[in-house]
């Protein structure tokens, strides 16, 4: 990990500093970066609030957040240094006070100090804040981090991008997707391009289909109003699952520099045909409409399963099946590549085994933290008869590597990347708009939602979508 200690000072302006994301992830994450020596030597964090919390109140809030969600308690010299960097500015009456606070912080840190605006805000509020930053003279030389979703359709994404790019150059806009900050997602690059055994079979000649599966057990308490305007497809597929698909399907880059990697992912998105409405199944868990903030007649999807394609030489004809939802039976983050069957079946197979097995061989990447990779294949069962059984080879990230003090969670990794100017794991405005173009048919003509019981695996029509194949989770059998 590249340290940022020798870089110029930085002033981080945190919008939404008293919100849930800041409390759970951002403030504990920045504290850990400071502990690990991955923040610049000189830094200030200026929170903003509509209320009158004040510096002392903000520091108390940050301490509670670190104690509850951080890796270590807020104590000692490390905490004192971090707390000294914190201040809060009220913006209820405009950005004049914020402009003064930023100017004072830059003066304290030195004339070369940079400014980073982190918009931990709902997308509906982002454009107005960007405009106020521009009118308040707070954008010159500054960078900006924006939270997903980046619009809710093609028109709104174009409108948001136009508003942001009217004040910030594209190279200074970081659209953050915490899924791409996971070590296991980045390990896809190493798995494919650092090993001679995988890349030669990573194509339509050897892979039958690909699954990206992110079921969640979480419900939506306290987020009903936001979620009812968004839904599972907008919240998860466009911003998370399609981005993982980009890493899976990209061509080998000529180098690992950020611009090259971003360009290869963009080519994947450009190769995706628009989704077909009948290739998407929408679901809604029973009881969703009783949640505060949800319309009593809402048809918002809390579950989606879909089939997508990448229409290029490598992947033509290979279906990519994506699935995600709330209140499902188990929380997982999995990528599975199912390999094609041998052209000729020479070994006798037990019919019951064939009916229960997901496939003869497949590679599964667990994208959770810390992550793992397993290969499932058929092997001879010991004994006098020629019988086959399912075998597995596994790699565990936690068991294979030491040094947990240097491990960063997704938000920490991405914030550090912004500080050092590494754009590898971020998406351009063109890439975002292209994904909304691909999604337009299913957004303009959505099919009805199917109900499903909480703690189930979602509505039954999802199985028709993938048939004659079937959805797969390691350890599960029909």
Beta strand 114-119 with 10-15 is parallel
Q: Which of 32, 209, 240, 362 is catalytic?
A: 240
> Sign (positive/negative) of CA torsion 18, 22, 28, 30?
negative
Burial class (CB in 10 A: 0-12, 13-18, 19+), 265: buried
CA neighbours within 13 Å on the CB side: how many for 341? 11
Q: What one-character-per-residue DSSP string does 250-288 give?
A: PPPPSS-SHHHHHHHHHHHHHTPPPPPGGGEEEEEETTG
Whether 240 is catalytic:
yes
Burial class (CB in 10 A: 0-12, 13-18, 19+), 409: middle
CA 406 to chain centre: 21
Residue 178 to residues 85, 142, 151, 267, Cα–Cα distance (Å): 25, 22, 17, 22
Please, are residues 420 and 2 in contact by the beta-carbon 8 Å criterion?
yes
DSSP state of 325: E
Please, are residues 361 and 390 in contact by the beta-carbon 8 Å criterion?
no
Distance CA 106, CA 108 (A): 5
Residue 9 to residues 4, 106, 450, Cα–Cα distance (Å): 10, 8, 52
Return the active site residues: 240
């Amino acid at each position: 990990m590249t340290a940022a200690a020798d870089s110029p000072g930085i002033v981080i302006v945190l919008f939404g500093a008293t919100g849930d994301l800041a409390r759970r992830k951002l403030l504990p994450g920045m504290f850990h970066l400071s502990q690990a020596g991955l923040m610049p030597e000189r830094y200030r964090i200026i929170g903003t609030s509509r209320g009158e919390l004040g510096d002392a109140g903000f520091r108390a809030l940050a301490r509670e957040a670190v104690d509850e969600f951080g890796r270590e308690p807020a104590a000692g010299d490390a905490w004192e240094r971090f707390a000294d960097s914190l201040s809060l500015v009220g913006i209820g009456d405009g950005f004049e006070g914020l402009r003064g606070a930023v100017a004072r912080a830059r003066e304290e840190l030195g004339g070369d100090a940079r400014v980073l605006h982190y918009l931990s805000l709902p997308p509906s509020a982002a454009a107005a804040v960007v405009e106020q930053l521009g009118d308040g003279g707070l954008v010159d030389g500054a960078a900006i981090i924006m939270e997903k979703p980046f619009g809710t359709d093609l028109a709104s994404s174009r409108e948001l991008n136009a508003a942001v790019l009217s004040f910030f150059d594209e190279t200074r806009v970081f659209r953050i997707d915490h899924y791409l900050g996971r070590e296991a997602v980045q390990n896809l690059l190493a798995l494919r391009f650092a090993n001679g055994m995988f890349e030669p079979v990573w194509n339509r000649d050897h892979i039958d289909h690909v699954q990206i599966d992110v079921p969640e057990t979480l419900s939506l308490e306290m987020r009903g109003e936001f979620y009812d305007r968004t839904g599972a497809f907008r919240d998860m597929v466009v911003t998370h699952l399609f981005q993982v698909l980009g890493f899976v399907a990209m061509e080998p880059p000529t180098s690992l520099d950020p611009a090259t990697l971003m360009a290869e992912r963009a080519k994947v998105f450009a190769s995706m045909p628009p989704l077909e409405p009948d290739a998407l199944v929408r679901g809604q868990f029973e009881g969703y409409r009783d949640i505060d903030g949800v319309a009593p007649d809402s048809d918002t999807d809390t579950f989606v399963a879909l089939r997508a394609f990448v229409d290029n030489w490598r992947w033509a004809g290979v279906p990519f099946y994506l699935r995600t939802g709330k209140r499902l039976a188990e929380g997982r983050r999995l990528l599975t590549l199912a390999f094609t069957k041998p052209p000729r079946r020479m070994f006798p197979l037990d019919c019951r085994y064939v009916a229960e097995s997901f496939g003869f061989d497949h590679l599964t990447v667990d994208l959770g933290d810390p992550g793992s990779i397993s290969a499932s294949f058929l092997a001879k069962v010991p004994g006098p008869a020629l019988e086959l059984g399912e075998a597995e080879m596994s790699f565990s990230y936690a068991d294979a590597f030491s040094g947990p003090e240097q491990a960063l969670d997704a938000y920490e990794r991405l914030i550090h990347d912004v500080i050092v100017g590494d754009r590898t794991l971020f998406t351009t405005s063109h890439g975002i708009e292209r994904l909304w173009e691909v999604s337009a048919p299913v957004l303009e003509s959505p099919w009805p939602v199917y109900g499903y019981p909480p703690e189930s695996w979602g509505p039954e029509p999802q199985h028709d979508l993938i048939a004659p194949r079937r959805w797969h989770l390691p350890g599960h059998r029909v």
